Structure 1
Amino acid sequence: MMSTTAQIKKIYTLLGKHGLRDQKDSIVLSFSAGKTTKVSRMSFNEAAALIGHLVSLDPEENSISKMRNKILAMAHEMNWTKVTGNGVHALDIEHVNNWCISKGYLKKKLDDYTYSELPKLVSQFEEVYKSYLKGV
């Protein structure tokens, strides 16, 4: 599977943020095991690895990812999933975003919450998760 449009955008954003755009070709070449210098020709897993590396360079971005992942993990535990085309249960990010828009304290999608806004959203979502656990 090839890299997604979202991954490509994220890579270019992170490269720019870290001042690495001029080194893009060599970075992509190393993360694609010498196959390509084009982000769009990276595999999904190669792009994910590059994103992970670029995120790790920024402690704030790393914290954002951890907070979002905590919410996503709790949503998965509450079975906020959908069946994909191949019969696999995957997290229903639309369900998470709909909750964030309707119940989240700032009424916006999960990815639109900033570093300073996420702790309160995580706390709010933890209350939903605790309520779910009481009902199980």
Structure 2
Amino acid sequence: MMLENKYIAAIYAGLRAQGLEDQKEELVSSYTNERTTSTRGMTKREALDLIAYLNGDQNNKEDKRSKMIRYIYSLAYQMNMTQITKKKTKVDTERLNALAKRLSPQKKGLQEHTYDELKTLVTLFNKYYKEQLNKGGFYESPNT
């Protein structure tokens, strides 16, 4: 089944707007997992994902994803999940990833979560933080 013309037109408009006409084949290939380099051979979902990227939605999603990760890091810092290296106190990423794997429905480390998965993970971290605070808070880090 061939992709509808309105999606093809939107892809070309996005390519022109971003100055990426020369990279059309590579972009289509990457969005179709190298199945095709032709916009006509794309599925509707692949075309919509490419259109969203060309319209800047992907950058916005990445910004939001980064903010959610930074927020979880700030919670980890408040929970004393820190270690001192070279006279600097930093979040202990091993402990943070272990907690993320424990709390996450996907059972994976913090950076491995997608934007949509992080929305759930932030909620779970907030709940965990409040529960631990109600149990008596966070004291010394075991590494100090």
Shorter chain as normaliser: what TM range? 0.5 to 0.7
Match status 1:79 vs 2:90: no
Q: 1:74 to 1:59 in 2, by over 3 A?
A: same
1:6-60: CA deviations, max 9, x gaps? xxxxxxxxxxxx999xxxxxxxxxxxxxxxxxxxxxxxxxxxxxxxxxxxx8100
Q: 1:114 to 1:19 in 2, by over 3 A?
A: farther
Matches within 5 A, 1:1-136: 58-84=59-85, 86-134=86-134, 135-136=136-137
Larger Rg: 2
- Kept in 1, the 8 Å contact 2:65–2:118? The answer is yes
Shift of 1:102: 2.5
Number of residue-to-residue matches in the alignment: 82
Q: Which amino acid aligns with 1:107?
A: K
Instruction: Provide structure 2 residue ranges, at least 5 long, that are not aligned to the other structure.
Output: 1-17, 21-57, 138-144
Q: Aligned-pair RMSD on alpha carbons?
A: 2.1
- Kept in 1, the 8 Å contact 2:103–2:125? The answer is no
Q: Which amino acid aligns with 2:79?
A: M
Shift of 1:70: 0.9
Q: How many Å separate the matches in 1 of 2:83 and 2:106?
A: 26
Q: How many Å separate the matches in 2 of 1:60 and 1:130?
A: 27
Q: How many Å separate the matches in 1 of 2:71 and 2:65?
A: 10
Q: How many Å separate the matches in 2 of 1:117 and 1:19?
A: 32
- After TM superposition, the score normalised by the length of structure 2 is 0.52
Q: 1:19 to 1:61 in 2, by over 3 A?
A: farther
- Structure 1 residue ranges (4+ consecutive) displaced by more than 3 angstroms after TM superposition: none
Q: How many Å separate the matches in 1 of 2:103 and 2:119?
A: 15
- After TM superposition, the score normalised by the length of structure 1 is 0.55
Instruction: Provide structure 1 residue ranges, at least 5 long, that are not aligned to the other structure.
Output: 1-17, 21-56
Q: How many Å separate the matches in 1 of 2:108 and 2:130?
A: 22
Q: How many Å separate the matches in 1 of 2:90 and 2:72?
A: 15
